[in-house]
Every structure is written in structure tokens, then in C-alpha cells.
Amino acid sequence: MTERGRPRTFDRTTALRRAMEVFWAKGYEGASMSDLTAAMGINSPSLYAAFGSKEALFLEAVELYTQVEGTDIWSALEKAPTACQAVERFLRQTAKAYSQTDRPQGCLIALGALHQDSSRGAICDDLRRRRAENRAALLRRLERGVAEGELPADFDCRVAATFYATVQHGMSIQARDGASRAALMATVAGAMAAWKGMAGTDT
């Protein structure tokens, strides 16, 4: 069961990563097929043969983004010993990732396709689903904090999860506006100042 036919002359994963960077920088509708094929170093028939369509390519690129760029942020959330530290490290990793100067600033999932009608619905829905999943991950971590007795039983995990997810989304726009890493970290400090008020604890 080896491969039949003429082998492709480019590395599929490398090309996909290039496409991810284009979508990341320009958004779904702002990235033209010319932009994509130029960045990927292939012609459009090769792109269609390998990925199916612009829409399918975008969905694969977002999945790659989630796995590659999101790991540090979300593992910080899971691995920290306390919920408070988890949220803080989560936000600090976000600030660090969003202010990298060797790649587009802000988050592909937050900024990739915000306007429903223009982009074919599936694109917008996929990103929305991923944003909802991110908020759900925050919520689970906070509920774990309640279950472990770290947070008071009446701690409103939903409100806190929504709040911190919103801050993270805002940081994407802030980063797109050219905010420095220090400025993003200051926002993190502001967001963590809310912790005491919400939890009644300072850990």
C-alpha cells in the first residue's frame, strides 16, 4: 500500500503553516488565493488538490493554529496548582504570544472572521465554536477550583470565565493596535486585580 501516482513536490504541512500565517495576518476574506499560493509556493491546482477549497484550507489552518500556537496558553491553564495562578499564567502566556514580533499579533481565532455574512457561514461558525470551547475550558478550571475548596462555593464561575475570556479577546485587538508586551502585561495585572473582588481571596 505505497503511494500511487506522481508524488507532490511540496511539504503539505509546511504549506499549511504558510497558509495559516496568511490567514492570521489578513483574515479569511482578506486573504486572496493569490496571497495564499504565493506564500505557500504552489499553484492553485495544487492547493485545491491538497486541501479542497479556500474554506477547507482555512479550517485546517485554524486547527493547526489551535494545536501549535494555543498549546502554551492552554497548558498553562491546566497545569498551574491553583485556579488563580492558572488564570494569571493563562493571561500572561496570552500576552506573551500576542506580542511576538516575528508573527502576526493577536489571535487567529478571535480575529480571523468576525463578520457573518461575508465569509461563508461555516468559517464564522467554526471560530465561534472554538471561542466557546475556550471559554468552557476556563469555566472548567474555575469549577475545579471550587470543587477543590480553593474558591468559595458561591464563586460565580460563569461570570469569571466570561470576564477573563472577554479580556483575552480584547487583548487581541490591543495587540493588533501595536501594544507592547509590557502594555499587554499591564492589562493582565488589571484583570488579575479583579480576582480578589470576585473570589475574596488573594492567592
Partner DNA sequence: CCTTTTCTGTAATGATCGATACATAAATGT
Partner DNA sequence: ACATTTATGTATCGATCATTACAGAAAAGG
Tell me which residues touch its own copies (CB under 8 A): 25-27, 29-31, 110-111, 114-119, 128, 131-132, 156, 158-160, 162-174, 176-177, 179, 183, 186-187, 189-198
Does 4 help bind DNA (rule: CB under 7 A)?
yes
How many other C-beta atoms lie within 10 A of the C-beta of residue 198?
17
Q: How far apart are CA 84 and CA 174, in angstroms?
A: 23
Does 74 help bind DNA (rule: CB under 7 A)?
no
Burial (CB < 10 A; 0-12, 13-18, 19+), residue 154, is exposed
**7, interface contact from its own copies, DNA, none, CB < 5-8 Å by kind:** DNA
How many other C-beta atoms lie within 10 A of the C-beta of residue 118?
12
**Shortest reach from residue 132's CB to DNA, in Å:** 26
**Shortest reach from residue 7's CB to its own copies, in Å:** 34
φ, ψ at 180 (rounded to 5°): -75, 165
**Shortest reach from residue 150's CB to its own copies, in Å:** 18
Q: How far apart are CA 70 and CA 90, in angstroms?
A: 10
Query: Does residue 123 sit in helix, strand or coil?
Result: helix
Does 32 help bind DNA (rule: CB under 7 A)?
yes
Does 201 help bind DNA (rule: CB under 7 A)?
no
Q: How far apart are CA 203 and CA 184, in angstroms?
A: 22
Please name the residues in contact with 141: beta carbons below 8 A apart, sequence gap of 6 or more.
77, 78, 83, 86, 87
CB closer to its own copies, 24 vs 51: 24
How many other C-beta atoms lie within 10 A of the C-beta of residue 86?
20
Does 2 help bind DNA (rule: CB under 7 A)?
yes
DSSP annotation of 117 reads T
CB closer to DNA, 26 vs 140: 26
**Shortest reach from residue 42's CB to DNA, in Å:** 6
DSSP annotation of 8 reads P
Binding mask 34-73 for DNA (x = CB under 7 A): xx------xxxxx-xxx--xxx------------------
**195, interface contact from its own copies, DNA, none, CB < 5-8 Å by kind:** its own copies
Binding residues vs DNA (CB under 7 A):
2-10, 29, 31-35, 42-46, 48-50, 53-55
